A and B are shown apart, each in its own frame.
Chain A
Amino acid sequence: MKTFYGTELPNPLMLGTAQYPSPAILEQAFRDSGAGVATVSLRRESGAGQTFWQMIRELGVLILPNTAGCHTVKEAVTTAHMAREVFETPWIKLELIGHTDSLQPDVFQLVEAARILTEDGFQVFPYTTDDLIVGERLLEAGCEVLMPWGAPIGSGRGLNNEYALRAMRAEFPDVPLVVDAGIGLPSHAAHAIELGYDAVLLNTAVARAGDPVLMAKAMAQATLAGQLAHQADPIEARDMAEPSTPVVGKAFLS
């Protein structure tokens, strides 16, 4: 299994911490799914931050702070610095939003911010599109992980462009790849891992499900199934049928 900046993950599920009905349900979703990475953010302190911090620490998972909501390089870099100090980790999920409706990353600013942060010792997890050249530029900028979107954040549409994600996997065989955003169902998560992706990062699909704890478990099991399937070397799809039962030796009855 590939490592993420030298760290091996316990399973291929990275889980967000936002939008759960209650902190208790969030906690249980992590415990029952065994997700090894939790994404977190920074917001203006209003008193609730300290309790949340305590709870996240007790989960004993790896913490991946994000720069969600940032629209400029400057903003993202400053946020990353604040996150490194507060969460005591060099990991940063770099989000640089370029479009209000689709929350599509601004890949030009993303590459620039990734370069600045890498030079400053950060280990950058860039939330990017499925564009190969952008992926290349991010690697040149020092990223050792790429996180292409499956579909827009929170849309639950699954893998919008399987072709592009396949191409990315083939182009960067040694780079840890994560499908980040757009996953709505366990089948989407399994699909990503079947393609050879090393992990999925999701939040809304679990947090907004009717039963988040159950959905978190379903996602975890789906990613494990996907992992086994990928290792098992799946068959190629074909257009016409091919009998699975032997033809030779069939009794002649007509």
Chain B
Amino acid sequence: MKIVLNGETRDVRAETLAELLEECGFTGRVATAVNEDFVPSSLRVAHKLADGDRVEVVAPMQGG
């Protein structure tokens, strides 16, 4: 299915958010949102993705 991951359209096999992170190589400390809603890490395994979902994966970064 096609999803938009951090603004880029990707064709993925993953069916859940947890599988998506694994498939796309996110192994570190990240937080996730799907369609602009926060998805806690504890719910990633259960969170089913749908075609066209917009997924954001963010990580610690410098800030002021």
Contacts and interface: CB of A to CB of B under 8 A. Distances in A.
Interface string A82-113: 11011100000000000000000000000000
Interface of B: 6-7, 26, 28-33, 36-38, 40-41, 56-64
A50 interface: yes
Nearest to B25: A47
Contacts, number: 102
A154 B8 CA distance: 31
13 contacts: A19-B62, A41-B64, A42-B31, A42-B58, A44-B57, A49-B30, A49-B59, A49-B61, A50-B60, A66-B64, A81-B40, A86-B59, A87-B60
A18 B62 contact: yes
A26 B33 CA distance: 30
A209 interface: no
Given A40-B60, A45-B58, 19 more contacts: A16-B62, A17-B63, A18-B63, A19-B64, A39-B64, A42-B58, A42-B59, A44-B56, A49-B59, A49-B61, A74-B36, A78-B33, A78-B36, A82-B32, A85-B40, A86-B29, A86-B31, A86-B58, A204-B64
A5 interface: no
Interface residues of A, number: 36
A85 B41 contact: yes
A24 B39 CA distance: 34
B60 A49 contact: yes
A40 B60 CA distance: 7
A153 interface: yes
B64 A44 contact: no
The main secondary structure of chain A at its interface with chain B is: mixed
A66 B30 contact: no
Contacts of A56: 60
Given A45-B6, A82-B38, A85-B40, A17 B31 contact: no
Contacts of A45: 6, 26, 28, 30, 57-59
Nearest to B28: A50
A52 interface: yes
Nearest to B8: A44
A78 B58 contact: no
Contacts of B33: 78, 82
A65 interface: yes
